[in-house]
Amino acid sequence: MVDRVLLVDDDVNLLSGLSRHLKRHFDVATAPGGNQALAAVGESVETNQPFSVVLCDMRMPGMDGIETLKAIRNISPETVRLMLTGNADQQTAIDAINQGSIFRFYTKPCPAEILIDGLNAAIEQYRLITAERELLEKTLAGSIKVLVDVVSLNDPVAYAQATRLRELTRRMLQALEMPPRWQLDIAAMLLFIGQVSIPPEVLAKMREGKALNEAETQVVARAPEAARNLIANIPRLGNVADIVYLQDKGFDGSGYPVEGPSGNDIPFDARLLKILKDLIDTARGKSLTRDIFNAIERNAQRYDPNILRKVRVHLEEITPDVPPAEIEVSMAALKPGLVVTTDIRLENGHLILAAGTRLSEVQVERLKSLRQIFPFVDRIKVRV
């Protein structure tokens, strides 16, 4: 991606001349004032094409340079900020650094060569910031995937639910034209991890739709708390832990935790996951048909009405009432990414993989290894 630079100055002639000169070296956009700059930065974030650097004049009518850079920092924290001003007094520089968190400060007139060097240094700083974030996020996501793959070996049903939830979450973000949200993605992967705290007998009753006694109901209700406590031990996942904790909290204030938030005080990610999780639970491995949506809408007060409406519109468009075609493949032909459409069990009935599971590398290798030891079906029904 080409590094983008935004120039902000109310002097249109200066802005035009500076832009012409710098366009030989950078991908340049301009804004003749603070409000226009904020609009440009906001749009760049929404389209996932953020500016690497903003060079802003200090003295502008209305919103001055310090206010503009403070606001830009809130909208796009990774964008590196520079200031250009004709006022060289010490207090201006101090305010710019302390309030606007600027990278460098230049006074007018400033030779073009110095500005170009400064912009190159700022771009390099931006690349360091984003590279570190991307490395941390990819490392974290990779570690979480390993954890989920290992958990899937002991609880295939939870893994199938998590993979389907993650797919639906990604589809909704694309449908809403929202950029990827790594914390939401990880929360979807870990949403069911609290079920490790539920005794197997109780878990089996819950999944079979059998009635639970009061003690069992309390154990199941507290699974999100167990998940939060586990996730909170992982660095940088505090927000993810909170999202997972509120997975059963209704928009109307119902659900667990009893004393938790309601309405828009519940984070957007938790409100979206609540809807998608309940759809998956209601569908029990089947397609998200109109009947499934009608079933959860009988309790519409539990869900954010705006999100529920958008989920229904978009998922009904991409989820046909007729299930997608299945094919049978041999064990040798299995590969990561295929979706198993029927439960895979050993001859003694032990569940290896639940229907709806999208195969990972770990699971493909495990199936092939188990096939060498235990007799079970050699051909498996899958869909792409």
Which CATH number characterizes residue 375's domain? 3.90.105
In a domain, 23, yes or no: yes
Q: Which residue in this structure is represented by tokens 């609009």?
A: 39
Considering only CA atoms, which of 66, 11, 4 is closest in space to residue 33?
Answer: 11
Count other C-beta atoms under 10 Å from residue 352's C-beta.
18
In a domain, 147, yes or no: no
Q: Say yes or no: 190 and 256 in one domain.
A: yes
Q: Say yes or no: 193 and 330 in one domain.
A: no
Q: How many domains does the chain have?
A: 3
Q: How far is CA 190 from CA 160, 166, 279, 280, in A?
A: 12, 10, 17, 15
The reported pLDDT for the residue numbered 181 is 84
Q: pLDDT tens digits for 272-304?
A: 999 999 999 898 777 788 889 999 999 999 999
Q: Say yes or no: 184 and 196 in one domain.
A: yes
The reported pLDDT for the residue numbered 85 is 82
Rounded to whole angstroms, how far apart are CA atoms 152 and 375?
21
Q: Say yes or no: 79 and 31 in one domain.
A: yes
Q: pLDDT tens digits for 121-134?
A: 999 999 988 887 77
Is pLDDT at 249 greater than 90 in this prediction?
Answer: yes
For residue 58, give the CATH number of its domain. Answer: 3.40.50.2300
Is pLDDT at 137 greater than 80 in this prediction?
Answer: no
Taking residues 18-42, what's their average pLDDT? 91
Q: pLDDT tens digits for 305-332?
A: 999 999 999 887 555 555 667 888 888 8
Count other C-beta atoms under 10 Å from residue 5's C-beta.
24
323 backbone dihedrals φ, ψ, rounded to 5°: -60, 150
- What is the average pLDDT score of the chain? 86
3-state secondary structure of 314: helix
In a domain, 136, yes or no: no
Taking residues 266-277, what's their average pLDDT? 96
Coarse DSSP helix, strand, coil percentages of the chain, rounded to the nearest 5 percent: 55, 10, 35
pLDDT > 70: what percent of the chain? 93
Considering only CA atoms, which of 64, 42, 41 is closest in space to residue 54?
Answer: 41
The reported pLDDT for the residue numbered 206 is 87
Q: How far is CA 255 from CA 207, 249, 281, 298, 299, in A?
A: 19, 5, 16, 16, 12
In a domain, 270, yes or no: yes
Is pLDDT at 374 greater than 80 in this prediction?
Answer: no
**Given pLDDT bands bounded at 50, 70 and 90, which one contains residue 140?**
confident
What is the pairing mode between strands 344-345 and 351-353?
A: antiparallel
More confident residue, 210 or 139: 210
* Greatest distance between any 2 Cα atoms in the chain: 82
Rounded to whole angstroms, how far apart are CA atoms 230 and 74?
31
The reported pLDDT for the residue numbered 319 is 54
Q: Say yes or no: 343 and 270 in one domain.
A: no
The reported pLDDT for the residue numbered 131 is 86
The reported pLDDT for the residue numbered 104 is 87
Q: Say yes or no: 268 and 358 in one domain.
A: no
Rounded to whole angstroms, how far apart are CA atoms 6 and 305?
38
Amino acid identity for residue 51 in this structure: F
Is pLDDT at 82 greater than 80 in this prediction?
Answer: yes
Q: Which of 66, 96, 131 is the last residue of a domain?
A: 131
Instruction: Give residue 346's domain range.
Output: 324-384
